[in-house]
Amino acid sequence: MPFDAAPGAAPASLEAFLASVERRGFRMAELALGHREDALDAVQDAMIRFVGYRGRPPAEWPPLFWSILRRQITDRHRRNAVRRKVMAVLGRPEDQREDPLEMLPDPNEDPARRHADGAAWLALGQAVRALPRRQREAYLLRELQGLDVAQTAAAMGCSEGSVKTHLSRAMAALRKHLEDWR
């Protein structure tokens, strides 16, 4: 069972905690950034930075890690925006970001279901990336990562009321944007 899924539970070690948040952190970063490689880099950088806080009490680890990852995602958004502007000025197309191996079909999975799941994931990703930054952060931390309001507020550096407001607005915008997927 993941560490931060059980309130009050303490991880056996720093490695156990990082293992418990690695996959969910990647999914959050991938959804926010839209690129697998950027998401992998953001999670790796967040974990490396988090190790510097290993002396903190284990109860503080979840909001601290998610706060670090949130900042990494914001930094990557900024870098990507600058990269796009530079590439537009230079007139060069941006590098191909698709990994050819990822495009090969999985022989054990139903292709129609895989396509539908992929399309739904892309639509959700586009809708989440279209949200304002604070709404996106609140949605990703609360709904995707399952943090409670207090942990989300600590990770975002705001009040619990702000988290609730941002989440409510994000959910309304996502419902409107994803109406066709119902």
Domains observed in the chain: 9-96 (no CATH), 111-182 (1.10.10.10)
CA distance 105 to 107: 6
pLDDT category of residue 97 using cuts at 50, 70 and 90:
low
Q: What is the pLDDT of residues 15-68, one digit of tens each?
A: 999 999 999 999 999 988 888 899 999 999 999 999 998 889 998 899 999 999
Judged against a pLDDT cut of 70, whether residue 106 lies above it is answered with: no
CA distance 62 to 64: 5
Burial of 40 (0-12, 13-18, 19+ CB in 10 A): middle
- Residue from 36, 47, 122, 32 nearest 77 by CA: 32
Q: Which two tokens stand for residue 76?
A: 């990557």
pLDDT category of residue 89 using cuts at 50, 70 and 90:
low
CA distance 105 to 41: 25
Helical segments of the chain, H only: 14-33, 36-51, 61-90, 111-130, 133-139, 149-156, 160-177
3-state DSSP call for residue 142?
A: helix
3-state DSSP call for residue 71?
A: helix
Taking residues 62-82, report their average pLDDT. 88
- Residue 4: the pLDDT is 44
Max Cα–Cα distance, the chain, nearest Å: 53
Q: Is the pTM of this model over 0.85?
A: no
